[in-house]
């Protein structure tokens, strides 16, 4: 049994990958989005007294602590003047409640990993507003409801995992029509109903089901 104490005592980490990070800071709208997400999820160890993507002594990047049991990680990409969050991984953080819609305002996100938590409720339609998202890991939670129609816009997706949840409704047709870049899709035990189409000709890159 993993101790929640270890998780809540862990320090949130951030990694900034940049050609030059001196003076570069996280875009203000993304800072506000992270603050809102942090409040909703109860992430009291997100230290906003420093810039999340800074490279100083107190930066989030200096407090990396992840292991096989849980991950607390944000990755930023910076230019010489501005940074953007591109990855957020909160695996096994014992988080519950619904996903805040503010995730959908972080337009540079490439990867979201929220697997092995206790999230519930419907997935926010705002997640369909992520034009660069490639990897979306939502498996092993307690999500309910149907997949939002806005997900039809997630044409950059390469990996989609929603297994072990309590969704309702049918497997949406847009998955097989729009997600032409998909390489891996895990739907097992997600409670969506319906058969996979006999032809997956619109998904030439799909390797894992």
Residue 2 has pLDDT above 90, yes or no: no
Determine the Cα–Cα distance for residues 120 and 97; give it in Å rounded to an integer.
5
Q: Are 73 and 67 in contact (CB under 8 A)?
A: no
Mean local confidence (pLDDT), 182-209 = 90
Domain with residues 4-152, CATH architecture: Alpha-Beta Horseshoe (3.80)
Mean local confidence (pLDDT), 191-204 = 85
Burial 25-42 (b: 16+ CB within 10 A, else e): bbbeebbebbeebbeebe
The helix, strand and coil proportions of the chain, stated in percent and rounded to the nearest 5, come to 20, 25, 55
Nearest to 61 by CA among 110, 112, 92, 26: 26
Per-domain residue ranges for the chain? 4-152
User: What does the pLDDT look like over 85-124, one tens digit per residue?
Assistant: 999 999 999 999 999 999 999 999 999 999 999 999 999 9
91: which 2 tokens?
């695996």
User: What does the pLDDT look like over 33-70, one tens digit per residue?
Assistant: 999 999 999 988 788 888 888 766 666 655 555 666 78
């Amino acid at each position: 049994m993993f101790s929640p104490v270890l998780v809540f005592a862990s320090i949130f980490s951030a990694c900034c990958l940049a050609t030059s990070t001196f003076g570069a800071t996280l875009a203000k709208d993304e800072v506000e989005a992270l603050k809102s997400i942090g409040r909703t999820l109860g992430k009291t160890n997100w230290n906003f007294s420093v810039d999340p993507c800074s490279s100083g002594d107190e930066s989030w990047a200096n407090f990396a602590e992840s292991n096989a049991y849980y991950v607390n990680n944000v990755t930023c990409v910076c230019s010489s003047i501005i940074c953007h969050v591109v990855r957020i991984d909160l695996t096994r953080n014992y988080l519950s409640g619904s996903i805040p819609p503010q995730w959908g305002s972080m337009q540079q996100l490439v990867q979201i990993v929220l697997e092995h938590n206790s999230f519930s409720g419907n997935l926010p339609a705002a997640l369909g507003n992520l034009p660069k998202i490639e990897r979306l890991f939502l498996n092993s939670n307690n999500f309910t409801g149907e997949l939002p129609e806005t997900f039809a816009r997630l044409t950059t997706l390469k990996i989609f995992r929603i297994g072990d949840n309590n969704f309702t409704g049918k497997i949406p047709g847009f998955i097989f029509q729009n997600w032409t870049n998909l390489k891996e899709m895990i739907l097992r035990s997600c409670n969506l109903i319906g058969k996979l189409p006999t032809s997956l000709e619109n998904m030439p890159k799909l390797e894992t089901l």
